[in-house]
Structure 1
Amino acid sequence: MAHYRFNNLLGAPYRGGNLCMSGNHLLTSVGNRVMEVDLQMSSSQTLPCENLTEIRCIAVSPTGSHMISFDTDGRALLVNLRKRVVLHHMNFKGKVSHCEFSPCGRSFAVCVGKLVQIWATPTMLKEFAPFRLLRTYGGMYDEATCLAWSPDSRWIIVGSKDLTARIYSANHMEGYVPPTLAGHREQLCYVSFAGAGGDAAYTVSKDGALFEWRLVDEEVDDDVSRRGDKGQRGGRDSLRGGDGVTVRRWRMEGKHFFHMPAKLTCAAYHPGTGMLCAGFGHGVFTLHRLSPGSFEVVHTLSISQQKVSACQWNETGDWIALGCARLGQVVVWEWQSEAYVYKQQGHYFDVNMCAYAPDGSMIATAADDNKVKVWSTATGSCFITFTEHKAPVAAVTFAPSGHAVVSASLDGTVRAFDLMRYRNFRTLTSPEPAQFISLAVDPSGEVVCAGSQDTFQIHIWSMKTGRMLDILSGHQGPVTSLSFSPESALLASGSWDKSVRLWDVYEGRGQTDILPHAHDVLAVAFRPDGKQVAVSTLDGQVFLWNPNDAQLQGTIEGRRDMAGGKVIGDLRSATAKAGKSFKTLAYSADGALLLAGGNGKYVCMYDVDGRALLKKFPLSKSKALDGTIERLDSNRVTDAGPMDLLPASDSEEDDEGYRRGDRGRGAVGSGGPGGNLPGTGSLGGAGSSRSQGLDKKKRPVIRCKHVTFAPTGQGWAASTTEGVMVFTRDNGASFDPTDLGEDVTPNAARRALRHGDARLALLMALRLRGADDDETLVAETLEAVAPDAVASALRDFPTSLLAPLLEAIAERVTKGPHAHLMLRWTRELCVAHGRAIHSAAHGGGGGAGALVGAAAGCDQRLLPALRRLAKAFATLHDDLEQTAEASVFLLDYVCAAPSAVAKA
């Protein structure tokens, strides 16, 4: 029951570091994880592997099969992108500022402090030491910042903070001295080779200076060549003439400058098209066409008012990817058509709450940046953002129909947003100003309730008319949680006054019962059948009550389950504190599981009947967050305090501000770690000054503000410090090997099909499909069974194989020509396995209402397959309808042709 695994991370498309593009895929770093974006499908997926701290840079092999991610401490993970598994890990014992694979893919180069190291690319074979060091180069007086390979993989150009660039040989050359390209007045942020043979180079510095270098032949005196030709590339190939020697030297051919009011922050050059993209600190990026002696401006555009942190071209040079770390924004722009290929922006502050749509296809999020976003669970992308709120949004939920999103905010309004027209169609306010921090919508979608934190009241409105129906008073503290009973006319409200009150909002009888507690109530949740309500209190306990007779059914002690994760204030190790408690609760769709989360690194899953802990899900392993490590690292503590809290250097100040400090500010109902109210500080200006360096270094604490189960029971989501983490059921973990035997083979299934035993053939095909992913055998069996034999094949069919059977039928509806046969399979399946499946398959062509109505009578695991089947039949119906409409006149003509001939 607890086989869930991490699936995706929403709310944070980009948080810093460089960008990588491999084919139609874009790789971005999100904290200590990497997100892969499919630009063709506009979908994103977060890799399950984690670094120990925030990722500093990533690199992808030329074939797109391998990726290396480096965190801030120099630890690296080699990941197989196709299998999404970690192959090897390595500690580089220093901060890696840049990494790049050679064009041939046999090696990669990294900038580690003042050194440049060349490593052989690990193979797919099992090795004791897969990372093999080939070369190490030094000579720089400050840290190396960037590097680039030549097209032939023989040379490396490296830029440094010492205002120079050096060219190293990837292969050993006796007596070779790397030439130094000097002349810049600020540190270099980008270098690149140009030309087919790599005989030209570009260096770009932060002050907006672009230097063009070229390898030229010069004739020097014989005694001068003996002293200096070893320091130039190609010096060993010098040609001796009559009066001197011809050597090859790097010479500056031109200087170009970006005339911008802000400093240059990133740049990327595409040798194939000769285009250079440059990003600046005020959110503007420019495109220039470079040629020998030419510097032509093509475009000057702005994506935000914050600095452009990274930019990267794709292989063909048609798309340019840009990222803004402070806003969590990533954009892919096609410069020739001047159109966006992909555009995503996450929440600037923490996500307070997330909610699933009734059909599980969408997730709505509310955050302290005054925004409500709606994400697609299938693609992981945000497709609409509502910005009407003027203060942090504390709560959000979907209307039962799934066509509207309702949100409550500290600005004193409750707003309803239409998901069909994407507009705010209803704004609900109170007679007196109030800050709403909790929200609930009744199962019919007609009544909306919101609890306030300053007036301690519950306001009730009519969704249809927008008129206020009632104001419930009685609590003596902020109303932190509201929950409607799915089966009865009860509303449960939890408050800091140490009580849970049950209200009858339909009959107007007001308060019906009071459930007293010894500590403040933090969360309240009704079980889906309405026969139990779970209450979380400040002492770390979860109480299970019967709402009908107000009797306590049981207690779950959760304080020790939340223990784990050291914060900076802990002297030795993580301990179970009195403040550990669950801030959010959620029941599964069948009511058998209970999720609980709070100010800790774990989300706990409990068995409701046994009141036992099933599993603890860790939210993050990042050491950049407080509360994730178990023991104190004494090496990171100095006389001035923990090293992680010391002010950052000037070069890291702007980048680390978002990732470490700004992202953790602004919790609802408090001033956040920085002590400021959310939304009061601007995103720039004083917020990025050097005087606030200490505030920026305050580490965000790992916590879970809200958890919710998917209506299908196949997943759940948690609003955490890192974003919205989505967990889905691991089907591989529930595979039963006893279904397979030595006699269950594809040949045996085809033999049974030839002998007329359709049921045995179908059972074998489905079991082999689950184990060996043999899709063709299932399709062959479905299409080979005669229509009259379908009913007998489904007699006494095991329920565990209904979901894969529905999936197979849905796939053949869209891909196969046997539409009538698939309809016969669906009809007989509905007849043989109950009214719930029949109503879900035939109720309105797969509408959300029919599927939700079928949820009460069928296994929750069947709902995704039923939705896919309904969608497949709806698509088939639309195609047939279009074909019939296009052929109606032709049919009329064919039908009328014989009569016309007879009259003639």
Structure 2
Amino acid sequence: VSEQLCASDTGLRGRDARGLGVIVTKCLQKDRCDRYATASELEAELGRWLAGEPILAQPPSWFEAACRWGQKYRAAAAAATGIVASLVLAVVGIWFFYVRSEGQRLVAESHRQIAEVKQLAASHEAANARRQLYFSNLHLVADARDRGNIAEAARLLAEARTLAGSSGPHEPMELDCLAASLDDSIATFGGHADVLTSVAVSADGRRLATGSADATVRMYSLESAHGKKSAAGGTTDPTGASGTLEEQGNASSERVLRGHDAKVWAVAFSPDGLRVASGSTDKTVRLWDTATGQTVAVLRGHTGTVYSVAFTPDSLTVATASRDASARLWDVVTGRERMVFEGHAGTVYCVAISGDGLLAATASLDGTVRLWEVATGRQTAILAAHTGRVFSVCFAPDGQRLATASEDGTARVWHVKSGAEVALFRHPIRVNAVAFCGDGTLVATASGDSVVRVWNVATGRESASLKGHTAAIWSVAGFPWGTHFATGSADRTARVWNAENNTSRVFVCSDRVLSVAFSADGARAVSGSADSEVCLWEMRTGRAAGHISLHAGRVNSVAFLPDGSGFAAACDDGTVRMHAMAQGEHTAVDSRPQIALLRSHDKRVYSVSFSPDGALLATASEDKTVRVWNRASLRQLQRLVHPKRVFCASFSPDGSCLATASEDRLVRMWDVASGREVRQFVGHAGAVNWVTFSHAGDRMASASSDATVRLWDSASGRELAALTGPARQIWKVAFSPDGTRVAGATADGTVCVWDAVHLWDKVGGQCAMVLRGHEDQVWAVAFAPDGRSVLSGSWDATVRLW
């Protein structure tokens, strides 16, 4: 072999030296088993190598090499093995803990995401439950109010305010409406720390005095209200002095009179206004100087609680009634007792002096009312029709009649001379007090059910039932002029009322009201009636500013110009009439000139509306068309034809589109510039009576004879919700300025207000409240520009501000 290799040395160059090295290494192995067995095997192996063929011998693996190295260098191998093992264990440990922590992190992240989803779902459910509870409370408020339980209604309303979670201008408008419906008073006076037992009004109507179980007397000034216009428009007293009350809300006391040692049961002003008298459980009567609030005199003589005090017309004598079964007359100047009226078989609860000062009347525990001559003390009559204690007695301004209030649940009016019963007013609970209002044609009664009732003496019928107090009413006192009166209650407040006009603002029209609209600033409203009359109303005062007789048939629709400079009326004779607004608050409507007469259609016009810039006018008619007009030139720009009658046409807030409501059950949207129909809104099962845009323009609301109001997405035409209520037909619909509420005028005589935002179920938004008060169908509805009130017009010939 060696010779052959040497002979072919030149052929070795370029050969695989590594293969030869493997052959040599095998030859040098110490173990015979690892070497070539024979020379022939080696020759054959070398032959294969020379031929460039694969050799059979294999180089040692890295493991074998390592093992051999370890056997050769045992100490170094052991150290290296330890280091490698430590590194491997460290890497494995690090990897294990990383994998475990990453797994835990992923599990935690998964749990966090699940928790967030559950929290979001729970928050959504809680918000829905809170909202449902809010609306339920609103309905319970209305129910409690209608049952006369004002205290419960007030409590539920407070809970609803808490659930609403907002206040001020962001508070839902229905809270304001319900709050107003719970209080018909025009002024409220507080400050007492206990039951308010007695009220009195000064002869000039400028001051109010109250007595309380907290042992104090308080005097309040009505000076700021004197001579101003009230919601009713004002009245005049017999002397010619103007005397009215503004709505003044809560008022603070002018002066607190302290001196009694126990409950104060009675207060009265002297006719000259210089003194206030008070009677107390401490058995004394105190006379106070109204200017300084100082005690002028303390009258002692009664042996029991003093329940009533009254002055004679000359202010020189004060009468008192006591639990000691007597009534007494006292000299105001000297403080001496002048006379004692005895004859009752028990407590004397009340004493009254006639306007001429000749007679005194007393009411007693024994169920009788007795009349006495002031000059002589002689008893002249006994009125004994009541079957329970008589708590209150008062003379009419003319002195010819007498009113009484009793535990038997009745108030009665008597003829003084004959003693005959003139009128009987029945109550569901005992009557605590009675007073004549103004000229004596009306009587106000105070009862334990917290309701003030006003009665017409001539007819014997209840003319008003006024709410506001939240507890039993103990006292009532009439004003010297008009139809105002004051009451004192166990709720620790005194309130002032107008017997002929409560704060719900009811405007009486001459015929059925078919349309209403607010001016842009909310200061005025206009209404249209079936007798062709248009009335203008001042919202601040509640007064009618005047009216126009159009002589054009029913006024089906009214609309103010956006700048408030005029208004338009759509009439049955196919015309639209536009009138200018005169400057000045009290200018009569009659004098406002007609600035345009648009003979727009051949048949009745159902609606009229202005574009937002006031440049265009849209009319909808019985002739199956909607027409768009240039307001300045009265030139027709578009004629939009429908298959059936069209009841309404309404501009979008940007003025580019027009929505129409038709008898064919469809709502359509039109491009104003081209007159092209853009979209149809399908879903109503009855005639569509009205349509309007939200102030943002993203939604539309339509009212239908299918008993629904439907909300639509303006851009896609998709139905968002179908709002239902108690009515079988809904004539008109209006969006609140903020778009959160929708109001519908219904055929059942109500106004329904819905939530237009939280449409969480397929049925639609919740009915926030139902406004009841009209006595016939409601045909018109509009939100005030500030969104805090609603105006409605009805076939009962009234317009109501809610």
State if a TM-score over 0.5 links the two structures: no
Compute the TM-score of the two structures, normalised by the length of structure 1.
Answer: 0.35
Larger Rg: 2
